[in-house]
Structure 1
Amino acid sequence: MGSRSGDRSSPQKIFIGGLHKDTTNTEFNSHFGKYGEITDSVIMRDRNTGLPRGFGFITFADPSVVDKVIEDTHIFNGKQVEIKRTIPKGAGGNQSKDFKTKKIFVGGIPSSVTEDELKEFFAKYGTIVEHQIIRDHQTNRSRGFGFVIFDSEEVVDELLSKGNMIDMADTKRLLYL
């Protein structure tokens, strides 16, 4: 009815980052299914290798469930994951103001991009306090996503007012709070 297929965000949708590579769809759905009815779920995989990229999305039937999920600590295979609300594309204006954060998630980072390059790219938007590309613990390879923390919430508001895709190294990036 009101939802469009393929939309990456809605009030009942969450981003889960830092998933252990061995997390199965069954474990994923079973864990989050305890909170309420799931209408959609996905663990993102590399298009070329089919290997998990370390993050995914869950959409609940009831948006009020999201608050409870975000309050709790979630551990998969001994590893704590990070839960964030998704932000609608082009959610500038009043909508993004509801999320007050200095931290963004950056997905789809090419393995060739270094942490210094990540910082340099986002420094043009504002002062960066912390930045990190998440790496595989055993191989130290980039897992294709990371986080940037700015010194002010206004920087994030301004960045998201332009939409949640930015071009970096000829590839589109998704930004989530």
Structure 2
Amino acid sequence: MRLYVGGLPYQTTEQDLGDFFAQIGEVTQASVITDRETGRSKGFGFVEMASDEEAQAAIAQLNGSMLGNRTITVNEARERQASGNRGFQGRDNYSRNDRY
């Protein structure tokens, strides 16, 4: 099961995240999401646990706990929603209202 982990300290590495969750059960993958341009952490990540039981235990035990100097949020990851346009609308959308 894939878990969302929010509120991470910005210096948290994937190794740190995996080690933190390993106290509950087997971690198959841990990832910290970073900004594409700067490479800096965005303060959240994902952890995959080997079983649903371990994942539920991690949610129960680690949600609201402290990692470094921050309180983290742990819950089941949801599928990413299609968000449509994310700011860039393309050339055609800009010229639609032009009056020449």
Q: Is 1:68 matched with 2:24? A: no
TM-score, with structure 1 as normaliser: 0.45
1:53 aligns with 2:45: no
| Count of residues in Structure 1 that have an aligned counterpart in Structure 2 | 86
2:22 maps to 33
Q: Which has the higher contact order (CA 8 A, sep 6+)?
A: 2
Deviations 1:56-89 (A, max 9, x none): 0000111111211111233111210111211246
- Give the root-mean-square deviation of aligned CA atoms: 1.7
- Alignment equivalent of 2:73, drawn from 77, 82, 99: 82
Q: How does 1:1-177 map to 2 (within 5 A)?
A: 12-72=1-61, 73-88=64-79, 164-170=81-87
Tell me the TM-score normalised to structure 2 length. 0.76
- Compute the displacement of 1:168 (Å): 4.9
Deviations 1:3-58 (A, max 9, x none): xxxxxxxxx11000111101122221111011111111100011111000100000
Structure 2 portions without partners, runs of 5+: 89-100
Q: Which runs of 5+ in 1 are unaligned?
A: 1-11, 90-163, 172-177
Q: Distance in 2 between matches of 1:17 and 1:168?
A: 25
Q: Deviations over 1:123-163 (max 9, x none)?
A: xxxxxxxxxxxxxxxxxxxxxxxxxxxxxxxxxxxxxxxxx
Structure 1 letter corresponding to 2:38: T
Select the structure that is richer in strand. Answer: 1
Structure 1 ranges of 4+ moved more than 3 A: none
Larger Rg: 2
AA aligned to 1:83 is V
SS of 2:39's equivalent in the other structure is coil
